[in-house]
Amino acid sequence: MATANKNLSHYDKDQLPDATDMEIGIVVSEWNDAITEGLYQGALATLLECGVKETRITRWNVPGSFELTFGCKKMIEEVGPDAVIAIGSVIRGETKHFDFVCSATAQGIKDLNVLTDTPVIFCVLTDDTLQQAKDRSGGKHGNKGTEAAIAAIKMACLGT
Ligand SMILES: Nc1c(NC[C@H](O)[C@H](O)[C@H](O)CO)[nH]c(=O)[nH]c1=O
Ligand SMILES: CC(=O)[C@@H](O)COP(=O)(O)O
């Protein structure tokens, strides 16, 4: 289902696991920060609404989405959260750089999910236009940050 047919911010809090004792890490890319800040605010608000304590949410910034993999890896090693949310916004430019950044970031985050025992949530928008990014970070299609926070809560206690 395309995002255009689904509100990214829709969820039923009563259907979620108890998140009151969870430790959540959030690594935020500074590229397109107007977008990534919107994603971060969506994720933060949802985590707090679902009972995660603000003192147990750790935020680190990295320069761009390509650095999210290293930032999440370092967060896992040094903080040891129950889950990490990787937040980025990649917007297509004139060259193929978009394709390489998106692919490397997605593969790197996938690799962390395979190689570590900590779930890393892919909250990276990969848009052709700024408007598409705005629509998915608190706009008409909701906020992928909300979706990512819900995924983090669910994955943090998977199998327990
Ligand atoms: N163009 C975008 C980038 N580019 C920067 C890379 O992510 C990386 O920081 C650089 O190549 C140095 O390693 N990053 C984004 O997050 N979004 C973009 O639109
Ligand atoms: C995703 C990017 O790296 C891109 O925004 C850079 O723009 P350009 O391809 O015009 O150099």
Question: DSSP 3-state assignment of 52?
Answer: coil
**Domains of the chain, CATH where assigned:** 23-156 (3.40.50.960)
The pLDDT value recorded for residue 24 is 98
Residue 56 is labelled as binding a ligand: no
Measured from the alpha carbon of residue 31, the closest ligand is 1
Residue 60 is labelled as binding a ligand: no
Q: Which residues contact 102 (CB under 8 A, 6 or more apart)?
A: 65, 90, 124, 126
**Confidence band (pLDDT; 50, 70, 90) for 9?**
confident
* Strand ranges of the sheet holding 83-91, from the earlier edge strand across to the other edge: 57-62, 24-29, 83-91, 120-127
- What distance in Å separates the CA atoms of residue 148 and residue 94, rounded to the nearest whole number? 29
- What distance in Å separates the CA atoms of residue 30 and residue 61, rounded to the nearest whole number? 7
The pLDDT value recorded for residue 1 is 53
Ligand 2 pocket residues where CB is under 6 Å: 90-91, 93-95, 97-98, 101
Classify the complex by whether its ipTM is higher than 0.90, answering yes or no.
yes
| pTM over cut 0.90 | yes
